Amino acid sequence: MKLRCMLGVFLWVALVAGSIAVASAVDSTPGDSLRVRIVAAVEGATLVVEAGDYAGPFLISKPVRLLGRPGATLSGDKKTHVVTISAADVEIGGFTIRGSGRDLSKDQAAIHTTGARSFIHDNRIVDSLHGIYVRRADACRILNNVILGDGAVASTVGDPLTSGLKPGESELCDVDSPQDRRGNGIHLWNSVGHVIAGNTITGTRDGVYFSFTDSAVVRDNAITKVRYGLHYMYSDDNTFERNLFSENAAGSALMYSKGILLRGNRFVANRSHRAYGILFQSVDNTRVEENLIEGNTLGFYLENSNNVTVRGNQVVGNYIGMRVSDSTAGGRFSENSFRGNIHPVETSGANLANAWTVDGRGNHWEGALTLDLDRDGIADLPHREPDLFGGWRRSFPAIGLLSASPGEKLLRLIHSRIALPSLPGVTDTRPLITARELP
């Protein structure tokens, strides 16, 4: 009897255990399996993930390489980050990543890393708040990712000069409009030494966001149809080369920084009535070279920025080519070409604190009356570029309706030959006869 009773208990336990085991096997998802593999992997291991939909979220807390085959998708639970990287030297690439949480106060992202030297490449990120969020993690490489936001915002952009760019630890996410409840493509905070190259970002809130991030190289990225293509503050010694910033609602704004190099970029068609190709406010000791600034409402605006070298840029077809405030000093403008702008240069005074001729070479001004008897490529007479509207643009914006009017052109022509008194503008003592081509 006792034996039969023990046998019964044994059978019951075996039955229950078997049932649980079977049930567990049935409920195990590809996402669970992947999580198990990540947990079980040794440091430095390479995990290749086959095509399929893997339900997240995922935490990578040791240095591993996570590589997706074509068709491998990591899907978030729409409550937190899809992939969280908390260890140094993690590589993740080749995935489609979707479905992060949408809580702006928690900075939720498709990939959120606090691990130094993260290598994030060849991913396609959709349906997420932020695309890639780097927080206090140095020397990350973010290469060849495609980040697609929900759409561009055009009607909710404030003028960054009046509304300002807002820094902070969970910065820039405290916004009022539900249309702005969208994260950034690549968000960098409090870190150094990144390489960001070959990424395509469109339809996010801001394209690349820099705050307290130094010594990064940003190269060959295409950022279109976002709010700020480049949203940048308190970040020094960064290099931007050959990037495209196009059709963004507010263009690119850089503030309170120094030691930046902008070379060979294209700032194109940022055309809302508050858009800037490039905006500098309190940006010092910076070089802006060989960029194309075309078709923007305001091509390049410098406010309270000192010792900025602006050389060899093409400023083409903007409503206002360049605005240089009198609070800007030590600027060196040379070998730039101003063509097809309705107003080439806007100033708020005589702009005497900046040089428009450097090492004997000025700038090329389309339509200027030029005389070059010695044929050295430099005009023999100075060129005066007046700003007839001046400060009235702020106090009386309707003055802009006289843009490119015959009356305005007549005064401009007269001023170019005979300096009219008290007219704001710049004087180029050695204007170039021909435009310098971009390399």
Binding site for other proteins (CB under 8 A): 271-275, 295-298, 318-320, 342, 388, 392-393, 395-408, 410-411
CA angle 160, 341, 321 (to 5 degrees): 35
Nearest to 417 by CA among 382, 391, 393: 382
Burial level of 434, CB count in 10 A (0-12/13-18/19+)? exposed
- For residue 435, CA distances in Å to 314, 315, 362, 439 come to 8, 11, 11, 12
Beta-carbon contacts of 321 under 8 Å, excluding residues fewer than 6 positions away, are 293, 299, 300, 315, 338, 341, 343, 344, 345
Burial level of 86, CB count in 10 A (0-12/13-18/19+)? middle
Closer to other proteins at the Cβ: 20 or 369? 369
Least Å distance, CB 417 to other proteins, is: 17
Least Å distance, CB 160 to other proteins, is: 14
Least Å distance, CB 364 to other proteins, is: 17
Closer to other proteins at the Cβ: 85 or 298? 298
Tokens 């190099």 sit on residue: 261
Q: Cα separation of 349 and 423, whole Å?
A: 8
Closer to other proteins at the Cβ: 156 or 200? 156
Least Å distance, CB 409 to other proteins, is: 9
Nearest to 238 by CA among 206, 265, 207, 260: 260
Indicate the DSSP class of residue 264: S
Give the CA count within 13 Å in the CB-facing half-sphere of 164.
6
Burial level of 141, CB count in 10 A (0-12/13-18/19+)? middle
Least Å distance, CB 154 to other proteins, is: 12
Cβ–Cβ under 8 Å, residues 59 and 82: no
Closer to other proteins at the Cβ: 235 or 281? 281
Least Å distance, CB 292 to other proteins, is: 16
Least Å distance, CB 209 to other proteins, is: 24
Closer to other proteins at the Cβ: 81 or 343? 343
Amino acid at 35: R
Least Å distance, CB 387 to other proteins, is: 13
Closer to other proteins at the Cβ: 128 or 318? 318
Least Å distance, CB 392 to other proteins, is: 6
Closer to other proteins at the Cβ: 42 or 401? 401
Closer to other proteins at the Cβ: 211 or 270? 270
Pairing between strand 119-121 and 141-143?
A: parallel
Least Å distance, CB 282 to other proteins, is: 22
Q: Does a cis peptide bond (omega within 30 degrees of 0) precede residue 57?
A: yes
Q: What does residue 26 show for φ and ψ, rounded to 5 degrees?
A: -70, -40
Closer to other proteins at the Cβ: 63 or 344? 344
Q: Cα separation of 304 and 210, whole Å?
A: 20
Q: Cα separation of 185 and 91, whole Å?
A: 19
Q: Cα separation of 174 and 182, whole Å?
A: 11
Indicate the DSSP class of residue 337: E
Least Å distance, CB 257 to other proteins, is: 25
Closer to other proteins at the Cβ: 166 or 394? 394
